A = this chain, B = another copy of it.
Amino acid sequence: MVKRTSFETADCPVARSVDEVGDWWSLLIVRDAFDGSRRFGEFQRSLGVAKNILSARLRALTDNGILEAVPAGAHHEYALTPKGEALFPVIVALRQWGEAFTFAPGEPHSELLDRRDGKPLRPLEIQAADGRPLTPAETEVHKLS
């Protein structure tokens, strides 16, 4: 990925997440892991990414505890750790935004469905501690002084 400032020591959790997840390739690898990909070849076919790029991203995701390498016969597979599973809301948020803003009306796209009833998920809602829906303007970031 393009070299950039490291946000490793930033006091903003958004920046730290950016720093740990790494880049968009890494996020799409995590997406594929949620979709059931486990083998190097599965990720490669899904992403159409060069092997060296994929290898580097898988290593970084493993080093950061987002994926873990699981022995599978002569090779190994990659599985999401609890830390990686916790990225689900990030993936769902990107998906729901993409569904709303990046497709033409009626243009088909993949869907994330509830296995039980086959229905699309409820749109993510930002809520206060007491459950009130909040708009961005109703929130504020308290920075460390």
- Residues of chain A having any CB pair with chain B under 8 Å: 1-2, 4-5, 7, 11-20, 23-25, 27-28, 31, 34-35, 47-49, 65, 80, 83, 85-103, 108-117, 119-122, 124-132, 134-136, 138-144
B4–A2 touching, CB < 8 Å: no
Binding site of A, secondary structure by majority: helix, strand, loop or mixed? mixed
Tell me the minimal C-beta distance from A106 to chain B in angstroms.
13
Taking each of A47, A80, A85, A86, which has the highest tally of chain B beta carbons within 10 Å of its own beta carbon?
A86
- Known contacts A13-B103, A97-B17; is A142 also within 8 Å of B122 by CB? no
Q: Is B13 within 8 A of A99, CB to CB?
A: yes
Q: In the assembly, how many copies of this chain are there?
A: 2
> Which of chain B's residues have a CB closer than 8 A to the CB of A11?
108-110
- CB atoms of B14 and A142 under 8 A apart: no
Given A4-B24, A117-B128: A108 in contact with B144 (beta carbons within 8 A)? yes
Contacts of A96 in B (CB 8 A): 13, 89
Contact in complex: A138, B115 (CB < 8 Å): yes
Enumerate 26 A-B pairs (CB-CB under 8 Å) in ascending A order: A1-B2, A5-B49, A13-B94, A13-B95, A13-B97, A13-B99, A13-B103, A14-B95, A14-B98, A15-B31, A15-B98, A18-B28, A20-B98, A34-B141, A65-B101, A80-B136, A90-B90, A90-B93, A92-B93, A93-B93, A110-B143, A112-B140, A115-B138, A117-B129, A119-B129, A124-B126
